[in-house]
Structure 1
Amino acid sequence: MLVAATLVAAVTAQSPQAEIAYRFHYANAGDTSVAIEIAWGSPLAEPRSLVMPRAIPMGYGEQRYDAFVTEVRAFATDGRSTSLEREEGPRWKLSAGSTRVTYRVDLQRMEREVRAASDASRIRDGYLGVLGYSVFAFVDGYETRPARLRVQGPAGWPVFSTLAPSWPVTTTAVEARLADFYELADGQVVMGPRATIRRVADRPAPLYLAGYAEGPVDFDRVGRLAVSAFQRVADYFGTVPFAHYTVHQELLTALSPQHEYGMSMEHLGSSTYYLAATTGLTATSTADDDTRVLYNFAHHISHAWVPKRAYGHGYFPFQWELAPVLDSIWFAEGFGQYAAIMALAPGTPDPVAFREGMLNRRFRPNVANAPPFLKRLTLVDLSRIASTRYAEDFRTGRLVFSRGGLMAAAIDDRIRAESQGAKSLQDAFRFLVAWSARERRAFSNDELPGLIQQATGVDTAAVIAEWLQPLR
């Protein structure tokens, strides 16, 4: 399976790196925490740190997941265990000779204290939904090692992992092998009798729907839209660089008025959608509701290609302890959304009108209504500011993706005009995904015009330069 994490992992010596074994165990229904074990086989030759993520891939911010970690203990080869000394930041000190570590993560407290639903794992009645980076730590320096995961739930509970989905869903332990820590951390675990698990399509890759609802929802309708979005986005990019994909949707009763629902997230082989319990698609939903959900699915599915597999600096290798400063969010978020629009357009009665309507609804009002002080920023400076407050102050997030989306549209127009319709930005997207797989690195902003020209034969440097400037 081709995953973005493997593209950026350091090339190692001839002998393979030792595998890191992870165990996730939710023992009993009603428990408020999960148990994690990490084992690395050979004793540590020197002291190292156990690190819990704070930064969230494509979350453009931080959550202190280490605050919910308790009972951290390290074990030596003779079985003796010791409590770990806390270091500054999200770290614990591992002594030389350690071979494994165990700890617990309080998910009930996490959901209570992390107000953004899209950043929190949760345990609810008959259900568990977990984001990998909220529970899995790593040994500093071992991030590029391959990982093996074993997931166990309470007796009789259905257990599902987006990293190794199976159908029919099993009630026994699930195991997965991953290229590195990023792939492990970017997956999700879903379990419980109130979870809905379905395999909804076989092509172009197996597609799964994992759902949980505390309000009315028609998961058949949701599944049909997920299939349509997935197949159209895959057709647009022309390749499917993963073995399977999961759409994971939760419809949740708010824990408090301060909790926020409605944001979605994208991952290497899945996308996650956290909605209010009253917003599910039902028999009374309209065609406009279907269109809105279809685009939201396509938008976040498209990120499995851009930027998960064609990306600027800072996306890979990822900096887990502190949100990285990124100068190309406009590409990741804006170009990714434009790709989703163009993937859906051919299935509409008037593709040209659909594109124009989406640009008018999705991007242009955000640019027109942005605060003047944000308009005065270059697009690179705006991206750097949004790196740590994209959703927290969504004025920054809306403007950076909108300017990026309109840049993508302008580039597409230039390519089509100069190639007399023979080429489009679609050719550049496909080229960039292949280039990233071959080169195993990020591209810089300065490289982007040349790469687009290689793909299309059209020089778009002036268009890109204009859109990078402050808005007039």
Structure 2
Amino acid sequence: MKKLLLVSALGLWSVAAIAQESPVYYSIAFPNAVHHEAEVSMRLTQVPGGPLRVRMSRSSPGRYATHEFGKNVYNVKAYDKNEKQLVVNQVEGDVYEIPSHDDGVKITYTLFGNWVDGTYVGIDESHAHLNMPATLMWAYGMDKRPIRIQFPDVEKHGWKVATQLKPEGYNTYFATDLQYVMDSPTELADYKEYSWDVVNTDGKKEAIHLTTHSDDDQAVVDGFGKSLQRLVLEEKAVFGELPTYDFGNYTFLQDVYPTNSGDGMEHRNSTCIVQPAAHIAGNEKRLLGTFAHEYFHSWNVERIRPKTLEPFNFEHANMSHELWFAEGFTQYYGDLLLSRAGFNTNEDFYGSAAGLINSVLNTPGAANFSAVQASNYAVYADAGVAIDPTNKNNIFNSYYVYGGAIALALDLRLRTEFNLTLDDYMRQVWLAQGKVEKAYTIPDLQNILAKFTKNPAFAADFFKKYIYGLEKNNYAALLDKAGLLLQRANPGKAWAGRIAAPSFRGSEGMARSTGTNGLIITSSTLQGTPAYKAGLDAGDRITQADGQPVKDGDAFNTIVAAKKPGDKIEVIYSNRTGEHKTTITLEENPAYEIITYEKAGKTPNELQLALRNAWLSTKVK
């Protein structure tokens, strides 16, 4: 009877509810899940006079570029509180206007979704994977109203609901306002769950839930959950405490299936992790890496929050200057904490650290653009959809790796110059900005570093050179203090630049085979590389190198591999202006690697070993 009464209350215009709080009601059902459709209705009460405008979002929390969610919405209709159909005008691609109405309006539409990641919607007979900005229309002027969402047919599909929204019973969930509901991804599926409590520093318990939609049995999910439990404690140790989660719960929404689009997307009290794998079993170590990064966002981004992301704009992307810190420092810690927790080896971490260093020492994006400028470019780079080529290879270095390299350098400099650590700094940022939920600016980060080190000159110099400027830290000298060597990964090996990948890989900035017709360079060659200096660029078709035919990337790479730095190879290529010849003067491959003193046959001293151990060892007591 209670269930019937609640459904009735959601289905009718309740005078008592209107008078008390006038919430926005949504109902999301899946009568045509087999064809990837949902039927959504939105009920509004106390609607002010004048035209009512509703819309789909164009951006999503956790993403920094715009996305056209409105393209997957159709059959848009509106009704008054007596179920009389109203006129609906589509005034923009994702904006609809109801010119005349009474104080109660119901809007219905069909939603299509067949892409499972952290940004869009995926619906089939097995589940409904909902990112709310890609799911829900919203009304202008009503963004502060409380929201209730009901999923009326989940039992019919054999599904359960996993979400950070507050459950109210009977498949109904509550959010305080539009900002919160849009930050609340929801998975409807017959998922398996592993849950545990963490006693926080204040003595209160925070419940952590792993919900997994995959083809694994419960024992596999339990085993993965226990590994995740270990990782959570390692991350807690960095900041000294867990955040206080709303409603006392934090939920990992994991979906694992081969056709998924891999993604991890942080949210305030949950994270959406989508894995393109057949199973968890056998892939645990690889899959855990996404969790390491995304859970760190529970502090850094969700509560240590850039001011540029507040409030989140659902009509357009927020441009943020701080992503080198928000994403980059998180990138650094994701790999570091996997090693501290024992899931990766120290050598694994050295490999990832070398990748960070290569990103700032061997890319034109880092040479010519600052970490702040790289962050600003996220409005185009963060899964932004475009069909025209860009020159991103030469103007952009990902804020993930850019910031990760800065974090690596700052960690080692704090350890060697101040007898402090980056953990200590992150804890100070947490206390000053995150725990009290005061959004920060870059000057705030600098001021905290100045107070923390008791050296304002150091903080000012570090930010001037490495955040706002183009200078790079001396990574070789810093790593040496931990008994580690930064050296060329391929000494004496010839290199033409990123012009051709092995045939089993594809990567931006490389070329693709065209059978017997040569090798097409598909995007901009990198400034400063031998290929760039030789005048080769996107659209050129290489047919011959060093007198030998070139049919694919493997053939080109084989020719280069037989040479040594300083050798010249003549290349025949064609483009729209005809056939041409050029000469590539090969250089030594500039890529770096990190190895231990021991591997190089050197003996580290006690100070070097102590620093290395303190840096990479577990902090869980």
- TM-score, normalising length: structure 1: 0.80
Asked if 2 retains the 8 angstrom alpha-carbon contact of 1:212 and 1:251, the reply is yes
| Aligned-residue offset at 1:185 | 1.4
Counterparts in 2 of 1:413 and 1:141: CA distance versus 1, 3 Å:
farther
**Equivalent residues of 2:410, 2:422 under 8 A apart:** yes
Distance 2:133 2:396 in 1: 22
- Secondary structure at the aligned position of 2:256 is classed as strand
Q: Structure 1's 73 and 373: CA in aligned 2 closer, same or farther, altered over 3 A?
A: same
User: In the alignment, what sits opposite 1:274?
Assistant: 274
2:309 pairs with 289, 297, 315, which one? 315
Deviation at 1:318, TM superposition (A): 0.8
Distance in 2 (alpha carbons) for counterparts of 1:404 and 1:63: 25
What amino acid maps onto 1:232 in structure 2? E
SS of alignment partner, residue 447 of structure 1: helix
The residue type equivalent to 1:188 in the other structure is P
- Could you tell me which of 72, 78, 84 is aligned with 1:74? 78
> Which residue of structure 2 lines up, in the alignment, with residue 163 of structure 1?
164
- 2:346 and 2:451 map into 1 onto residues whose CA distance is 26
CA distance in 2, matches of 1:431, 1:419: 15
Q: Deviations over 1:23-67 (max 9, x none)?
A: 322346636322223234212233342121121222222321111
Q: Which residue of 2 aligns with 1:240?
A: 243
2-side partners of 1:349 and 1:281: how far apart?
A: 15
Q: CA deviation at 1:160?
A: 0.9
Q: How far apart are residue 228 of structure 1 and its match? A: 2.4
Q: Could you list the per-position Cα deviations for residues 384-412 of structure 1 after superposition, in whole angstroms to 9, with x for gaps in the alignment?
A: 11222234588688632111112223333
Tell me the residue number matched to 2:475. none
Q: How far apart are 1:291 and its partner, in Å?
A: 3.9
Which consecutive unaligned segments of at least 5 residues does structure 2 have?
A: 1-18, 200-205, 385-389, 473-621
- What is the rounded CA distance, in whole Å, between the counterparts of 2:20 and 2:462 in structure 1? 45
What is the 5 A alignment of 1:130-145? 130-145=130-145
**CA contact under 8 A between 2:253 and 2:271: conserved in structure 1?**
yes
Using the TM superposition, give the Cα deviation of residue 359 of structure 1 relative to its aligned residue in structure 2, in angstroms. 1.9
- d(CA) in 2 for partners of 1:212, 1:236: 30
Query: What is the letter of the counterpart of residue 132 of structure 2?
Result: G
Higher mean C-alpha deviation, range 301-310 or range 83-92: 83-92
Q: Is 1:53–1:320's contact at 8 Å kept on the other side of the alignment?
A: yes
- 1:452, 1:357 → 2: CA distance? 28
Task: Indicate if the aligned counterparts of 2:324 and 2:375 stay in contact, CA closer than 8 A.
Answer: yes
Q: CA deviation at 1:17?
A: 6.9
2:376 corresponding residue in structure 1: 384
Judging changes above 3 Å, is the alpha-carbon distance between structure 1 residues 374 and 456 closer, same or farther for their aligned structure 2 residues?
Answer: closer
Look up the match of 2:195.
200
Cα contact 1:329–1:387 (8 A) shared by 2:
no
Work out whether residues 57 and 315 of structure 2, in 8 Å CA contact, stay in contact via their aligned partners in 1. Answer: yes
Matching of residues 29-40 of structure 1 within 5 Å: 30=34, 32-40=36-44
Give secondary structure in 2 for the equivalent of 1:292: helix
How far 1:342 moved relative to its partner? Answer: 4.9
Paired residues, what number? Answer: 432
Partner Cα distance (1:152, 1:337) in 2 = 39
Q: CA offset at residue 321 of structure 1? A: 1.7
Structure 2 residue 395 is the aligned partner of structure 1 residue 401: no
Task: List runs of 5+ in structure 1 lacking aligned partners.
Answer: 1-14, 255-259
Confirm whether residue 46 of structure 1 aligns to residue 50 of structure 2: yes
State the structure with bigger RCO (CA 8 A, min sep 6), 1 or 2. Answer: 1
Choose the corresponding residue for 2:66, options 42, 53, 62: 62
1:334 matched to 2:328? The reply is: yes
Write the letter of the residue equivalent to 1:334.
G
Q: Is the CA contact (8 Å cut-off) linking 2:27 and 2:149 kept in structure 1?
A: yes
One-letter amino acid matched to 2:409: A
Query: Alignment RMSD, CA only?
Result: 3.4
- Per the alignment, residue 152 of structure 2 pairs with 152
What amino acid sits opposite 1:425 in the alignment?
A: L
| Aligned-partner Cα distance in 2 for 1:235–1:100 | 50
Give the C-alpha shift of residue 305 in structure 1: 1.5
Q: CA deviation at 1:79?
A: 3.7
Residue 265 of structure 2: aligned partner = 265
Q: Identity over the aligned pairs, expressed in percent?
A: 18
Q: CA deviation at 1:275?
A: 2.4
Match of 1:84 in 2: 88
- The residue type paired with residue 160 of structure 1 is V
Instruction: Provide the secondary structure at the position in 1 that maps to 2:42.
Output: strand
CA 105–253 in structure 1, closer or farther in 2 if over 3 Å, else same: farther
Aligned partner of residue 207 in structure 1, secondary structure: strand
Aligned-partner SS, 1:66 = helix
